[in-house]
Amino acid sequence: MPKTRMLLSAAVLLCLITPARAADQDLKPSAAGYLEARGVNYLVFNNWYDGLFADSKISGVEIVQRGNRIATNGDVRLSATPGQWDRIGRMVERKVDPRTGATDVLLEYASFGFRYRIHTEARGRALAVSVILDQPLPEALAGKAGFNLEFKPSAYFHKSFMAGGTAGTFPLHPASNMAAGGARQPSSGRDIGPGAEPLPLASGQTIVLAPEDEAHRVTLRSDGGTIDMYDGRNQANNGWFVLRGALPAQRTGKALEWTIEASSDPTWVRAPVIGHSQLGYAPEQRKVAVIELDANASAGGQAKLVRINADGSSAVALTAAPKPWGKYLRYNYRTFDFSSVRTSGIYRLEYGGTRTATFRIAPDVYSDAWHLGLDVYMNVQMDHMLVNEAYRVWHGESHRDDALQAPVNDEHIDLYRQGSTTDTKYKPGEHIPGLAGGGWLDAGDFDIRTQTQYAVIRQLVETYERYRPVRDETLIDQKLRRVEMHVPDGKPDYLQQVEHGVLQLLAQQDNVGFAIHGIVEPDVAQYTHLGDAASKTDARVGTKDDRWAFTSRASALNYGSAAALAAAARVLGGYDDRLAAKCLENAKRIWADEQSHPPFTFSHGNTTGGPVEAEKFGAAVELLLTTKDAEYAAAVDQLWPTVADKYPVVIGDALRAVPVMPQAYQAAVRAKIVALRANEAKQWPRPNPYGVPITEGGWAGNGQVMQYGLLDYLVHKTFPDLSDGSAAFAALNYIQGTHPGSDLSFVSGVGTVSKEVAYGNNRADFSFIAGGVVPGVLVIKPDLPENSEDWPFFWGENEYVVNMTPTYSALVHAALDLLAERRAKETRNP
């Protein structure tokens, strides 16, 4: 064949192939309700801003590329780099054409009388986004309103961009120029710091992100106006790279149009994820890996369990075809059961080209899994103390200047609110003495939330009572207000943590007269503080920077505190008899006082306890366990029919009371357990291959998963014929890596590969606090399981909360107890 004919044939062939590839990659509506091409999904207001905490980077136009959500918040905003508390539009209506995938969303800024529509549609491989105005932009918003689309900075670290033909590199650290301006005013109306606005990093009608990287390349084109790119991190550590187009004044109809093309790939297939416990497994327990597969993945052949030998060689311990499970969210699943392998050693799993990190099979695999939580995380969260670890000071003595009475009729940040009266003898702004002691910082922020405090105390007490963990690795000196990690002081650390918690609850009773909502920063500028908690305030009483105490009376909080104090009295006896007596005295006094009047029903957000009946039931149970007094037994018996159906969360308390209650009560609780278990799976959002309930709200569900495992353990210990407690192992496996989206252990520092980028007070360093437990997998609607390991600022996925670590510790101890039972049984019946 002549050379010219060969070249012509190749050219013709290329023409024939290329259009087919292009057509294959045209955007199409998916069954899940978004436009997609292979490796790219465009979500359009499938999710909405978090109503509790405003902007949570989950709304508007969003882009998922190669399974990674790289862009969010495509919406009209009133500044170039809006912060978490800045105004957001309200979604009025959302319509989707199921045939074409075109979406129309009507939104408004009601206070400005401003309504607008965002229309999206497929245009070949690109998504066309239009902002449509039926009325001109209000004068007050001229020069302020624009369409923003935010890109996750960590997705573009070490990458370049092209803007208007000019090249640039994304900055690793915020370094853009700023222009001086007025103080920033979020929707709360409070200034959040001195004002400055960023200048654009780059501008152009066309901007290409990561042109050199097909896996991250996104091209944005404006039909007329300029696209400006900003770095939001200059104003807020959790800011993103923002691409923005200003809305023109005096224009109606299509005020702005962009086309957005994220690079797709007709051959892309996400690598398999082999969900397994990064910590490992005890020989006796069930061992099942859950293999997560891309919808386009072909069968990957055999799954293998490989044993690693001391000399570096390896041998296959088990090979089998994984069992198909079906579809959950956007992925297909298979399971690989290797329970038959009980020989101790180091192992890894292999399937479809994926190899896991190594893990152990060993009898002692859980023996120290709870240590980091007690040795490190709980200490770091201790408020009103200096916390030191060898050469490192985690924080100085924090909040010595607590606290000022909160102002009345105040709708505050972080779900705190003060009613129309202080309910105390203190005037708004007046110092309340005695509150600067005890308590734990609630989460990745620096407030003391009373509802969390008493939950932690009760969990610590239950674990100590049931298992007696006498570990002593920390020096805690309340007189010196100093904590020294890894320095034993001759006292069980569990009891010292209980002591620290009750000191705050007692301080509230002594100085206010009842349990308060908590103590929180006076403004957003302090609330967003990162780093050493001691540097937040000047440590001088009565100055403007002191934290505020929110004090509207809520009987639910008082009952919750009484429950914790009654429980603490049981374990503090013999450790500190005076403190134990004071705890019980206060618990009984609170109970008696609450019986003398109708309940105070003030309720707001998640800072006021509740429901009241559930908290009252818990207090009655703890007082009964401590005193064995008939008065509290009668209260438990009377309250049970009221709470049994309405509040399944009280089942744990109900089970704890069974040993000290009459036969009729035991029978009633047993019947309720049987009924709950019969309908258990129906309460889950949808079936999943992990055997635990996976929530789909704005906060991921590791807390619920662990409580599910603990409840099953309690059922087993109370009514052994109803359960073998195996859900405790399922919950542990989930937390430690057998979950959707990845195989990370959600307990920092526990397991071979664990959460190393989390939302603690050190999140700006992209770091972690050992022993902290994160919320876990957040389901981005409709079908994306997400837990970002490269971006710590997703609080719904990555924020440590102090009660999660004691819950995890309790779950580990439950597993140790169950294993001891099984081993004893195997010894009796070899």
805-818 pLDDT, tens digit per residue, is 999 999 999 999 99
User: Is the CATH number of domain 280-361 2.60.40.10?
Assistant: yes
Under the banding of pLDDT at 50, 70 and 90, the label for residue 51 is: low
**Predicted confidence (pLDDT) at residue 15 exceeds the cutoff of 70:** no
Q: Which two tokens stand for residue 409?
A: 């009729």
pTM of full prediction above 0.75? yes
Are 203 and 228 in contact by the 8 Å Cβ rule? The answer is yes
Burial 534-569 (b: 16+ CB within 10 A, else e): bebbebeeeeebbbbbbbbbbbbbbbbbbbbbbbbb
Q: Is residue 830 reached through a cis peptide bond, with omega within 30 degrees of 0 on the bond before it?
A: no
Relative to beta strand 518-520, strand 417-418 is unpaired
Q: What share of the chain is helix, strand, coil (3-state, %, to 5)?
A: 30, 25, 45
Three-state secondary structure call for residue 163: strand
Distance CA 425, CA 405 (A): 10
CA nearest to 624, candidates 554, 690, 570: 570
**Predicted confidence (pLDDT) at residue 24 exceeds the cutoff of 90:** no
Q: Which two tokens stand for residue 654?
A: 């109900």
Question: How does pLDDT run across 334-355, given as a tens digit for each residue?
Answer: 999 999 999 999 999 999 999 9
Q: What are the extents of the domains in the chain?
A: 30-181+197-262, 280-361, 374-608
**Predicted confidence (pLDDT) at residue 182 exceeds the cutoff of 60:** no
Sign of CA dihedral 463, 465, 470, 472: positive
Q: Residue 176 has what pLDDT? A: 87
Q: Residue 828 has what pLDDT? A: 87
Are 154 and 789 in contact by the 8 Å Cβ rule? The answer is no
The fold for domain 374-608 equals: Glycosyltransferase (1.50.10)
Q: Residues 80-105: what's their mean pLDDT?
A: 94
Question: How does pLDDT run across 738-748, given as a tens digit for each residue?
Answer: 999 999 999 99
Question: How does pLDDT run across 581-632, given as a tens digit for each residue?
Answer: 999 999 999 999 999 999 999 999 999 999 999 999 999 999 999 999 999 9
Q: Residue 181 has what pLDDT? A: 72
Q: Which two tokens stand for residue 288?
A: 């099942």
Query: Could you tell me the CA-to-CA distances from 422 to 557, 562, 589, 605 in Å, in that order?
Result: 16, 21, 22, 18
Three-state secondary structure call for residue 709: helix
CA angle, 728 as apex, 727 and 730 as ends, to 5°? 60
Question: How does pLDDT run across 553-582, given as a tens digit for each residue?
Answer: 999 999 999 999 999 999 999 999 999 999
State the average pLDDT for the chain. 94
Q: Which two tokens stand for residue 296?
A: 């386009």
Question: How does pLDDT run across 458-510, given as a tens digit for each residue?
Answer: 999 999 999 999 999 999 999 999 999 999 999 999 999 999 999 999 999 99
Q: Which two tokens stand for residue 192?
A: 């959040």
Q: What is the CATH number of domain 30-181+197-262?
A: 2.70.98
